[in-house]
A and B are shown apart, each in its own frame.
Chain A
Amino acid sequence: MSAILKRDLRAYFTSPLGYVFIAAYIIVMNGTFYLFNIASSTNSIKTVFSVMLYTLVIIVPILTMRTLSEDYKQRTDQLLLTSPVKPLGIVFGKFFAAYLVFVFSLALTLIYVIIISAFGKVNIPSVIGNYVAILGIAAVYISIGVFISSLTENQLIANISTIGVFALLLILDLLYNLIKVGWIRVVLYWLSIYRRYNTFILGVFSVADFVYYLSVAGIFIFMTVRMLEKKRWS
């Protein structure tokens, strides 16, 4: 797993992908931080995190679109699948490479906390809660992206479908607000990854919701492993 992780992580920075992701992320985040914190002189960074959630919808597919599809295309999946590595190791390697790029970008936003603390008071528990929550939700995003990438050998299709799935999840979230029927709301609540995020933005750290994120990420990683194993039977 570590060999694959290292290779993929390197690949992000020998191609434009890693740079594009980090640049896009930082530009949007810095803009948001300037508009909603500096220009409006508030110490609450909840807007930053709320915008981050939607920004990731667009840019996470950049990270995940080629994780497995590129391997299919170059036939390097044949190398990975005939090496003494379990499919889970392959998927974990790919997942964590993408995840680490995200974690690195996220770490860059810690500077906002430093800036705020220089000029005012930072609500430390709320900030920590937000960071942990975004780490959880990013795991969900990336695992979905990796899974979709395992379905096709075309990066573009992987990218667009991933955005599509994220958009679908957003729509579910909107439906939750519109529909008043009890049981449908329950179903929608379980499918909506955004709704759960609101709790964190409001400053409440919900262990249940965090576990929910990790479970969803786990399910998608498991399904990706199944996809790799299924290839053998094609």
Chain B
Amino acid sequence: MIEVTGLTKTYGKKRGIDRISFTIEDGEIVGFLGPNGAGKTTTMNIITGYLSANSGAARINGIDILEDPVAAKKHIGYLPEQPPLYLDMTVDEYLNFIYDLKRVTDFKRRSHIDEIAQLVGIKDHMKRLIRNLSKGYKQRAGLAQALIGNPEVLILDEPTVGLDPKQIIEIRNVIKTLGKNRTIILSTHILQEVSAICERVLVINNGQLVADDKPENLSALITGDRKLTVRVAGPRENVRRILRDVEGVQFADVTVQAERGSYDFLVEAKPNIDIRKPMFAALARAGYPILQLKSMDLSLEDIFIKLVEEKKTSRKPAARPLNKPDIKLDLSEDIPGSALDLSSDISDDNSIPTTENKESD
């Protein structure tokens, strides 16, 4: 179990994180979502005892990380953003060193290390120098390091960075398997990762906790169910008219001419209505074939803009308790700027959080 209360860390005058509080129960997998520089790494570094907060406390299984660091650290496996590897060792030597460093006694050395190497898929590279490993394998060696000693709490800072798509799926599965009997925090800025692994999401921006919710509530945003891009072969105006007449459609317009004689349309449904079937039927009746139909994925930036704006507006009238954000992550309103003009929406000028402050640890 991880309990964090009122963590604040300042770097000079700049606030790294600001009064962050949350509790993670045993066996929970929690995603830490936020843009670069939001304070994810800082928070993780504080929980693991690498940094100290200016105020607030972090407790691991009830042990305060500042009061009894050695006992608290025994319960933690930590994979930092940059895996802490000794490049002059082989993977096998490295994992043996970690085994000694963590003073593991509950597991037999050889079988424990082999088991973990098997789990993260680095078994075939045990005799190679870490220096010579590719980024993906370095990441695995880092993950293996965190797992040695079978800690009850795992803290993983962007565990799938640098892996190829197949490896990402493998590692996600590993984390899911591990999560059955452990407490896991993993940070990421990939939305799909959160929906794939986590049971709960903490969204952090500019050092503050903006949302603490289940991914189901985020899923409306993640999958963008209500917004579809449809490519239809047929005359532009006719198709648009037909689309607008479909029951349940709130909005429909052309975005671009896709191929010769066909156009891409952005169609938005009214809440809780699946317009795909009636839309198909209507277009089929008119004899305009659908060439492509996909739901529109929203970028992380869109969600942040949404969350941050809600936070701003909600804060003004009455100060809400910071540690209990009750923002609902649904799509009941338009996300500003995301309707037609997709290109500009994803481009830099709108992605406020990413370009601002850099993580300074």
Contacts of A80 in B (CB 8 A): 101
User: A103 — which chain B residues lie within 8 A by C-beta?
Assistant: none
Collect the chain A residues with CB atoms within 8 Å of residue B49's CB. Answer: 81-82, 232
Beyond A75-B80, A78-B80, A233-B52, is A83–B85 a contact (Cβ under 8 Å)? no
A3 to B94, CA, bound (A): 11
- CA separation between A79 and B76, bound complex, in Å? 11
Evaluate contact between A84 and B88: CB separation under 8 angstroms. no
- Least CB separation from A80: chain B residue: B101
**Contact indicator B86/A76 (Cβ below 8 Å):** yes
Give the residue name and chain of the B residue nearest to A4 (CB).
B101
Q: How far is the CB of B60 from chain A (nearest CB, A)?
A: 11
Residue of A nearest to B142 (CB): A79
Q: Is the interface of B mostly helix, strand, loop or mixed?
A: loop
Q: Is B100 an interface residue (CB 8 A)?
A: yes
Given contacts A11-B88, A74-B87, A76-B85, contact A84 B52 (CB under 8 A): no
Interface locus among B31-39, B67-75, B252-260, B269-277: B67-75
Q: Is B48 located at the chain interface by the 8 A CB criterion?
A: yes
**How big is the A interface, by class?**
20 to 34
Contact present for B84 and A75 (CB under 8 Å): yes
A79 touches B102 (CB 8 A): no
Taking the closest CB of chain B, its distance from the CB of A16, in whole angstroms, is: 11
Contact: A86 with B70, CB < 8 Å?
A: yes
- Residue B82 contacts which of A3, A75, A232 (CB distance < 8 angstroms)? A75
B101 touches A83 (CB 8 A): yes
Residues on the B chain within 8 Å of A79, using CB: 80, 84, 98, 101, 145
Please give, as numbers and ranges, the residues of chain A lying within 8 Å of B71 by CB-CB distance: 84
Q: How far is the CA of A95 from the CA of B103 in the complex (A)?
A: 20
Bitwise interface map of A from 5 to 26 toward B, beta carbon under 8 Å scored 1, else 0 = 0110011001100000000000
Contact (Cβ within 8 A) A232 B76: no
Chosen A-B contacts, 15 in total, with CB atoms closer than 8 Å, are A7-B86, A14-B88, A74-B84, A75-B82, A75-B84, A76-B85, A77-B84, A78-B80, A79-B80, A80-B101, A81-B50, A82-B80, A83-B73, A84-B73, A233-B51
A: which residues have CB within 8 A of B?
A: 2-4, 6-7, 10-11, 14-15, 74-86, 232-234
Binding site for A on B (CB under 8 A): 45, 48-52, 69-71, 73-74, 76, 78, 80, 82, 84-89, 93, 97-98, 100-103, 145
Other than the given A3-B97, A15-B88, A79-B98, 20 more pairs (CB < 8 A) read A3-B100, A3-B103, A10-B93, A11-B88, A74-B84, A74-B86, A75-B80, A75-B82, A76-B85, A78-B50, A78-B80, A79-B80, A82-B76, A82-B78, A83-B73, A84-B73, A84-B102, A84-B103, A85-B70, A85-B101
